[in-house]
Amino acid sequence: MTQAPRPWTAFYGPGVRTDIDTPAYRNLADLIRSVAETYGKAPAFTCCLPNGMNGTLTFQQVDEMSDGLAAYLREVAGLNQGDRVALQMPNGLAFPIAAFGVFKAGCVLVNVNPLYTAQEMARQFEDSKPHALIIVDMFAGKIPAATRGHKIPTVIVSRVAEFLPALPRGIVGLVQKYWDRTVKPVDTPHIRLPAAIDAGRRQVTQGRVEVDAYHQSVRSDDVAVLQYTGGTTGVSKGAMLTHANLIVNMEQTMELIATHVRKGEEVALTALPMYHVFAFTMNLIGFYWLGARNILIPNPRPLVNLKRAFENYKITWMSGVNTLFNGLSNEIWFTDSPPRHLKFASAGGMALQSSVAGRWQEITGKPVLQGYGLTETSPVLTFEPMGKTRAGSIGVPVPSTYVICVDDDGNEVVQGEPGEIAAKGPQVMKGYWQKPEETENTMKNGWFLTGDIGVMEPDGYFRIVDRKKDMVLVSGFNVYPNDVEDVLAAHPGILEVAVIGVPDAAAGEAVKAFIVRADPGLTVEAVRAYCKEHMTAYKVPRRVEFRDTLPKSNIGKILRKDLRAEELAQIAAE
């Protein structure tokens, strides 16, 4: 594999840099401070709840409050540089404070999906061994079960309406406590986030500590985030994303749209959860860097939760996934009154269907730019240049990024032939956390193997053809058949099980389970109820089919590919 030429740079547009190798900042803490100095009292983050209640923090406030948290983590909680801090929170004003505080403390952030079951949390905690956990009160009840294997000494609890003005915060609190019943008293010893920030800020204002000293020696190639993914092999592991990975990847992507956005003037909508790598890099870090006002939506379900945000703010840029764009295109309040100030939308996480992109453009008059990448690549590898969108394509590689298609032996295929997408660039992770052999499996001669089969068009645009492995992609979230099968197989009424992904209009792919019953009375409902108890909702098989036997190889291995072929043939027949 040689360093291929980059025909795609022709699409970048005038003045766009073709190479962005080194980050403009030493580390993320540096970026946070420097951006805050530029934009000061301008609004940085606004959390908008479904009923329109909201709270805003300025760049300066975010800077000062994250300083406070950093000082708390280092001085009071006693963490050291490189220690891990798990963050398990939906979008809200507490998220940037927490994430930025961790970077400023010189610590490593571990993003945890708030919807994880205690079991799934436990697995991630045992692997990453965090020293502190910052969690939203709604899910704090899972802490005791989740920390049985690895005790977390410091627990900081936040809430959805954190840092909103007192009256709305109080109302939301009362509604959550007495009406929704989503918040219960937290039994685990903990400190509240505002109290932790105050404690840290006292240290800072009394001149006892210098927050900048915490990250003075954090280099750009030090790990900033452990972003968990099943990767291409299914074993859950933490991708080590460095400060350089994240800063550069954000800049690489921003560069392609630089001429269409104005620093300090955009209003961006973040409806996707920021614990996901796509929103983490592009929305949390990218919009902040851009000096944009970032409108955070704690929960976009149901979609009408976005209505007030669209009405109350002049949103110029939003990011989403196929499911979100499709959903909005079918909501009357959105189609009746599409955002008037929108310049464009960006999509990632899962394949954007051409029909969805087309309908979106029809309604809003503005394009959806699709990007492609993986957790391991921070995540953006390719992006559609503004004004040069192409149906069904994932765009062109971002600056300083080399993308080729290779065969099973690692040799580049003839242009136009499908092959596994391999990538090289400053955004490719340092490796998997404490899993050198897994790292070796995906990194070949300096190329990261994505496990996706793609095709390069003559001019350098790429298309995704298929996925190499069995992984199922439900709305941008990886589901590993092994994972789901393991849980199902433990059910006494189930004899054998095979799980595959099937095409799904709404989610891109849906999980389907083929089950051979041990108990003939077992119903589909019972299977799904059992799954809901034991796994995160997106992993729960949308479809369940009972069979008498499952196709197997001659050594008894269940053949998922045969089931998939059957399923696809059936769909084709319909």
Partner 1 sequence: MVGAFEQVLLALMIFVIMLGMGASLTPRDFYLALKRPYGLAIGVISQYGFMPLIGFLLITVLPLPDAVAVGVLIMSCMPGGTTSNIFTYFSKGNLALSVLMTVTSTIFGVVLIPLLLVVYANALDLEIPRGNIIVTLVLLLVPVALGMGLRKINANVGAVTEFMGSVLALFFIGFLLVSWVPRNWQFLMTTTPATYVAAIALGVFGIAIGYGFARALKLHPRNARTVALETGIQNGPLAIAIIAFTFTGTEAQSYVAVPALYALFIMIVATVVTLIFRRANTAAEQKLPDSLL
User: Should residue 501 be labelled a site residue for partner 1 when binding is judged by CB under 8 A?
Assistant: no
- Using CB under 8 A, pick the residue from 477, 480, 514, 530 that binds partner 1: 477
Question: Binders of partner 1 among 91-110, rule CB under 8 A?
Answer: 91
User: Should residue 568 be labelled a site residue for partner 1 when binding is judged by CB under 8 A?
Assistant: no
CA nearest neighbour of 373 among 247, 282, 469: 282
User: Should residue 555 be labelled a site residue for partner 1 when binding is judged by CB under 8 A?
Assistant: no
Token digits of residue 532: 């809901």
Q: Which stretch binds partner 1 (CB under 8 A): 61-69, 148-156, 254-262, 327-335?
A: 327-335
Contacts of residue 452, Cβ cutoff 8 Å, sequence gap at least 6: 420, 421, 464, 466, 467, 468
- Using CB under 8 A, pick the residue from 80, 216, 337, 553 that binds partner 1: 337
What is the rounded CA–CA span in Å between residue 381 and residue 384?
11
- Using CB under 8 A, pick the residue from 35, 284, 328, 351 that binds partner 1: 328
Helices (H), 281-403: 288-289, 307-312, 322-328, 332-336, 354-364
Token digits of residue 341: 């100030």
- Using CB under 8 A, pick the residue from 331, 412, 486, 496 that binds partner 1: 331
- The answer to whether 246 and 218 are in contact (CB under 8 A) is no
Contacts of residue 459, Cβ cutoff 8 Å, sequence gap at least 6: 7, 8, 10, 11
Please state the closest distance from residue 128 (CB atom) to partner 1, in A.
Answer: 20
> Residues 115-134 vs partner 1: string with x where CB under 8 A?
x-------------------
What is the rounded CA–CA span in Å between residue 234 and residue 229?
8
User: Should residue 365 be labelled a site residue for partner 1 when binding is judged by CB under 8 A?
Assistant: no
User: Should residue 304 be labelled a site residue for partner 1 when binding is judged by CB under 8 A?
Assistant: yes
User: Should residue 302 be labelled a site residue for partner 1 when binding is judged by CB under 8 A?
Assistant: yes
Token digits of residue 394: 């994932």
User: Should residue 505 be labelled a site residue for partner 1 when binding is judged by CB under 8 A?
Assistant: no
| Alpha-carbon Rg for the chain in angstroms | 23
CA nearest neighbour of 321 among 347, 359, 289: 347
By C-beta, is 195 or 537 nearer to partner 1? 537
Question: Binders of partner 1 among 508-547, rule CB under 8 A?
Answer: 536-538
Please state the closest distance from residue 302 (CB atom) to partner 1, in A.
Answer: 5
User: Should residue 49 be labelled a site residue for partner 1 when binding is judged by CB under 8 A?
Assistant: yes
Question: Binders of partner 1 among 159-198, rule CB under 8 A?
Answer: 164-165, 167-168, 171
Q: Are strands 419-424 and 447-456 parallel, antiparallel or unpaired?
A: antiparallel
Please state the closest distance from residue 52 (CB atom) to partner 1, in A.
Answer: 4
Contacts of residue 496, Cβ cutoff 8 Å, sequence gap at least 6: 489, 515, 516, 550, 558
**# of chain residues touching partner 1 (CB under 8 A):** 48
What is the rounded CA–CA span in Å between residue 438 and residue 443?
9
User: Should residue 249 be labelled a site residue for partner 1 when binding is judged by CB under 8 A?
Assistant: no
- The answer to whether 66 and 104 are in contact (CB under 8 A) is yes
The strand pairing partners of 269, in sequence order, are: 295, 318
- Using CB under 8 A, pick the residue from 92, 231, 327, 379 that binds partner 1: 327
Q: Which stretch binds partner 1 (CB under 8 A): 146-154, 212-220, 227-235, 475-483?
A: 475-483
Please state the closest distance from residue 227 (CB atom) to partner 1, in A.
Answer: 16
Token digits of residue 236: 């859950």
Please state the closest distance from residue 309 (CB atom) to partner 1, in A.
Answer: 10
- Using CB under 8 A, pick the residue from 42, 199, 235, 303 that binds partner 1: 303
- The answer to whether 188 and 154 are in contact (CB under 8 A) is no
- Using CB under 8 A, pick the residue from 321, 352, 422, 428 that binds partner 1: 321
What is the rounded CA–CA span in Å between residue 177 and residue 170?
10
Q: What is the DSSP letter of 326?
A: H
Positions touching partner 1 (CB under 8 A) are 49, 51-55, 90-91, 113-115, 164-165, 167-168, 171, 271-273, 299-304, 308, 311-312, 321, 323-324, 326-328, 330-332, 336-337, 474-477, 506-507, 536-538
